[in-house]
């Protein structure tokens, strides 16, 4: 083909293509209307031949009606493992389906919400116990306007005689940041709102207690925060709260105080009920792994002891120390050895601890670890048993906490628990589920979850103690849990300073000092793991800063005035010191003395007690050097410098040998002078007769 003919052919092709372009645009399908779907079912599980009653709402967000819409209901083959629940939309794309129904056809959608009810009969003989993904689709022709994916649980309840239900231990974590500041004043009305049972959205604690009382067939566990319970107890007696820049006193007869009293009373009733278990926690819930790695074992023990005492006081009952919920579910073998039986005999631990060793990872492989495990613990050879919280449930609840859909949340939780049961339905197993402290859903959501769990015959709720005593322990060599690869972070630098300052202060005051209890409490709160869990470390550091500032303020009340220059004229003397204690309590400190020309016969260090007034001290000294010398006095308690004096001392002391030498010289000089004077007088005397003879000769 010649070049001219090739160019002509290309030009003709381009012209034909340009003529076709409008045709292509006109033939393209119009954009689909924006339609959103929501649905709910009449139940969370069905018999194999059950009927599914569904309510579907289609939200037409366009301005015009959409006609010719149908709803398709399609059920797929059942899941084979728990992981099949992770991505239902992706997994069912490769599955065959068991049943397809189109219960609604030729619908017209007006702008806004359009609700439709329909019923689907599960095909007889096609379903056995299991979890079946299903898909609801709104179609216009073959185009999908909207769709949702969920699960249907099928379970036959005809013969339950040999059923071994999954033992579910639902544990509510009550840890929350303190509602009071370091000044012991409530920072807001937040806690009062959480205790309030009135209004459209009752508070979290009143909601939780309402649900627990409504479903008495559920056995539950609570990780009780001693700090929280103490706040509720104090609030019930009347309290001071900040609102804006002002402080208000709330009386014991107020609605807020009465709500707190009601919540406290309900917790006390549950603590004495066999269907509920209260798991003790350290007072401020510190991360025990951090404290032990910092060698703060004393702090950890004190927090455990004070937390247990506070719980028993506020709950008005005994609380077993054998069962323990370590803050953050973190406790390695070193923690258990150092704390020994203070850390309990039966523990609930994080599944993340299994990933620290090869032996732990082996336990986590295959089927879900759903029974107690022997772990290395107490020094004295006693057995320690642990249940590891279910990792998948922890991850699921974290995701669900962002949703406000009661039906969707409940279906996901029930499907996950059912999937665990179906792993090994003929074996007695347990599942520990920790309800996150930060998840505080509505009463409707809690009610849906409790009702669904209570109504599922293959699930049985147990307290943590019941599960650990009922389900056989895994026959394994005691598992060693290594320490974490990372140590305490920079947050603890300030906490370390505050802790050290508090220790120093405690050595200078009596045990009943009014400030000491508050300072120690504030250090404990600064050690809490709640600041990490709630992402509020800056607020946590304010407690450490408060300790430092308070002690610095008290130290400033103690003054050692400068004495100016001191003159000493003898070999031994007493130097006066004045210490003014402006605090309202006596203090005990160490006075350290030093000098480059003085010695201290009674020692250079001594303990002194300073009363709340001016204290006059006299320091015995022995002069060893003549002239201008330096004298220093420092008052301190451990590493805490309370005050110091640095002054000049002028001495004119002569030693004994020099004194006698001078005296001897003076005697010699005096003797010589007396002798010389005597000789002069002797030589200068003239007798009278000699004068007379002389006079005669002259005449």
So what's the pLDDT on residue 84?
A: 82
Q: Which fold has domain 35-154?
A: Immunoglobulin-like (2.60.40)
So what's the pLDDT on residue 96?
A: 87
Q: Does domain 166-470 have CATH number 3.20.110.20?
A: yes
So what's the pLDDT on residue 681?
A: 59
So what's the pLDDT on residue 10?
A: 33
Give the residue-averaged pLDDT of 370-386: 85
> Exposed (0-12), middle (13-18) or buried (19+): which is 174, by Cβ within 10 Å?
buried
Give the residue-averaged pLDDT of 222-239: 97
Question: How does residue 71 score in pLDDT terms, banded at 50, 70 and 90?
Answer: very high
Q: Does domain 558-651 have CATH number 1.10.287.70?
A: no
For the chain, the average pLDDT equals: 89
Question: How does residue 255 score in pLDDT terms, banded at 50, 70 and 90?
Answer: very high
Identical fold between 35-154 and 166-470:
no
- On the question of pLDDT at 293 being above 60, the answer is yes
So what's the pLDDT on residue 570?
A: 87
- On the question of pLDDT at 329 being above 90, the answer is yes
Give the start-to-end residue ranges of the domains of the chain.
Answer: 35-154, 166-470, 497-555, 558-651
* 190-204 pLDDT tens trace: 999 999 998 888 999
Q: In what order do the strands lie in the sheet with 566-568?
A: 566-568, 640-651, 627-637, 587-595, 605-610
- Flag the least confident range among 23-37, 48-62, 155-169, 552-566: 23-37
- On the question of pLDDT at 17 being above 50, the answer is no
Cα–Cα dist 612/582, whole Å:
6
Three-class SS state of 533:
helix
Handedness of CA 580, 586, 589, 593 (dihedral sign): positive
So what's the pLDDT on residue 86?
A: 78
* Long-range contacts (CB closer than 8 Å, 24 or more residues apart) made by 314-319: 314/226, 314/229, 314/230, 314/232, 314/233, 314/264, 315/224, 315/229, 315/267, 315/268, 315/271, 315/278, 316/268, 316/271, 317/268, 317/271, 317/272, 319/271, 319/278, 319/280
Angle, helix 226-235 to helix 255-271, in steps of 10 degrees: 140
So what's the pLDDT on residue 22?
A: 35
Q: Comparing C-alpha atoms, which of 29, 27, 31 is closest to residue 61?
A: 31
Give the residue-averaged pLDDT of 600-629: 92
Cα–Cα dist 108/227, whole Å:
58
So what's the pLDDT on residue 107?
A: 95
Question: How does residue 7 score in pLDDT terms, banded at 50, 70 and 90?
Answer: very low
So what's the pLDDT on residue 690?
A: 46
Question: How does residue 23 score in pLDDT terms, banded at 50, 70 and 90?
Answer: very low
Question: How does residue 611 score in pLDDT terms, banded at 50, 70 and 90?
Answer: very high
- On the question of pLDDT at 125 being above 80, the answer is yes
Cα–Cα dist 554/605, whole Å:
23
So what's the pLDDT on residue 275?
A: 96
So what's the pLDDT on residue 688?
A: 47
- On the question of pLDDT at 668 being above 90, the answer is no
Q: Comparing C-alpha atoms, which of 123, 113, 99, 141 is closest to residue 39?
A: 113
Give the containing element (helix H, strand E) for 460. strand 459-461
So what's the pLDDT on residue 588?
A: 95
- On the question of pLDDT at 657 being above 70, the answer is no
Torsions phi, psi of 101, nearest 5?
-135, 150
So what's the pLDDT on residue 679?
A: 66
Cα–Cα dist 308/281, whole Å:
7
pTM of the complete model: 0.84
- On the question of pLDDT at 516 being above 50, the answer is yes
So what's the pLDDT on residue 9?
A: 40
So what's the pLDDT on residue 1?
A: 45
So what's the pLDDT on residue 26?
A: 34
Torsions phi, psi of 310, nearest 5?
-65, -40
- Find the length of the chain: 699
So what's the pLDDT on residue 658?
A: 52
- Flag the least confident range among 7-16, 110-119, 574-583, 676-685: 7-16
- On the question of pLDDT at 87 being above 70, the answer is no
- On the question of pLDDT at 15 being above 50, the answer is no
Give the containing element (helix H, strand E) for 178. none
Give the residue-averaged pLDDT of 134-148: 93
So what's the pLDDT on residue 699?
A: 44
Look at 53 and 490; give whichever has higher pLDDT.
53
Cα–Cα dist 629/1, whole Å:
118
């Amino acid at each position: 083909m010649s070049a001219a003919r090739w160019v002509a052919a290309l030009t003709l092709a381009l012209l034909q293509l340009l003529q076709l372009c409008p045709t292509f645009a006109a033939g393209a399908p119009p954009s689909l209307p924006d339609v959103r779907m929501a649905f709910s079912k009449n139940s969370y599980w069905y018999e194999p031949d059950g009927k599914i009653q569904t309510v579907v709402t289609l939200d037409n967000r366009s301005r015009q009606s959409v006609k010719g819409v149908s709803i398709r209901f399609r059920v797929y083959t059942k899941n084979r493992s728990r992981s099949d629940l992770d991505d239902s939309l992706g997994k069912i794309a490769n599955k065959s389906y068991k049943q397809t129904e189109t219960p609604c056809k030729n619908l017209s959608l007006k702008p806004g919400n359009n609700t439709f009810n329909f019923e689907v009969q599960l095909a007889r003989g096609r379903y056995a116990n299991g979890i079946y993904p299903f898909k609801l689709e709104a179609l216009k022709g073959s185009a999908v306007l909207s769709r949702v994916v969920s699960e249907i649980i099928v379970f036959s309840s005809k013969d339950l005689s040999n059923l071994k239900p999954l033992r579910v231990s639902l544990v509510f974590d009550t840890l929350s940041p303190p509602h009071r500041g370091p000044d012991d004043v409530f920072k807001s009305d937040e806690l009062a709102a959480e205790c309030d049972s009135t209004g459209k959205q009752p508070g979290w604690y009143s909601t939780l207690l309402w649900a627990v009382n409504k479903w008495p067939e559920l056995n539950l566990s609570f990780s009780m925060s001693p700090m929280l319970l103490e706040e509720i107890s104090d609030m019930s007696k009347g309290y001071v709260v900040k609102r804006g820049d002002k402080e208000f006193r709330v009386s014991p007869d107020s609605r807020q105080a009465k709500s707190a009293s009601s919540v406290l009373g309900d917790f006390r009733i549950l603590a004495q009920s066999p269907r509920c278990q209260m798991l003790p926690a350290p007072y401020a819930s510190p991360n025990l792994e951090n404290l032990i790695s910092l060698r703060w074992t004393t702090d950890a023990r004190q927090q455990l002891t004070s937390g247990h005492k506070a719980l028993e006081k506020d709950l008005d009952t005994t609380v077993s120390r054998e069962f323990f919920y370590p803050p953050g579910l973190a406790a390695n073998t070193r923690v258990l050895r150092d704390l020994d039986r203070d850390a309990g005999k039966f523990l609930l631990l994080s599944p993340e601890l299994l990933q620290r060793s090869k032996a732990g990872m082996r336990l986590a492989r295959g089927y879900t670890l759903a029974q107690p495990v022997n772990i290395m613990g107490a020094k004295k050879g006693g057995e320690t048993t642990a249940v590891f919280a279910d990792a998948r449930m922890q991850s699921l609840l974290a995701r669900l906490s962002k949703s406000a859909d009661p039906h969707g949340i409940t279906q996901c939780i029930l499907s996950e628990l059912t999937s665990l049961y179906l792993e090994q339905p003929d074996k007695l197993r347990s599942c520990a589920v920790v309800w996150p402290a930060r998840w505080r859903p509505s009463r409707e959501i809690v009610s849906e979850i409790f009702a669904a769990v209570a109504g599922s015959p293959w699930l049985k709720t147990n307290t943590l103690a019941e599960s650990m005593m009922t389900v056989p322990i895994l026959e394994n060599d005691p598992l060693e849990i290594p320490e974490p690869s990372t140590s305490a972070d920079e947050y603890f630098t300030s906490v370390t300073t505050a802790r050290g300052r508090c220790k120093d202060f405690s050595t200078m005051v009596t045990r009943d000092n009014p400030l000491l209890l508050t300072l120690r409490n504030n250090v404990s709160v600064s050690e809490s793991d709640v600041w990490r869990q709630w992402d509020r470390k800056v607020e946590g550091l304010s407690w450490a800063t408060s300790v430092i500032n308070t002690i610095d303020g008290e130290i400033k009340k103690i003054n050692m005035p400068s004495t100016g220059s001191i003159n000493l004229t003898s070999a031994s003397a007493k130097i006066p010191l004045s210490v003014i204690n402006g605090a309202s309590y006596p203090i005990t400190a160490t006075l350290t003395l030093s000098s480059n020309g003085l010695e201290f016969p009674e020692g250079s260090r001594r303990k002194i007690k300073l009363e709340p007034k001016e204290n006059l001290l006299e320091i015995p000294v022995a002069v060893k050097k003549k002239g201008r010398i330096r004298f220093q006095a420092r008052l301190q308690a451990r590493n805490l410098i309370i005050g110091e004096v640095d002054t000049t001392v002028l001495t004119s002391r002569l030693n004994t040998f020099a004194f006698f030498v001078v005296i001897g010289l003076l005697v010699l000089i005096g003797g010589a002078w007396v002798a010389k004077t005597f000789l002069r007088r002797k030589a200068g005397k003239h007798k009278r007769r000699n004068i007379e003879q002389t006079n005669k000769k002259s005449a």
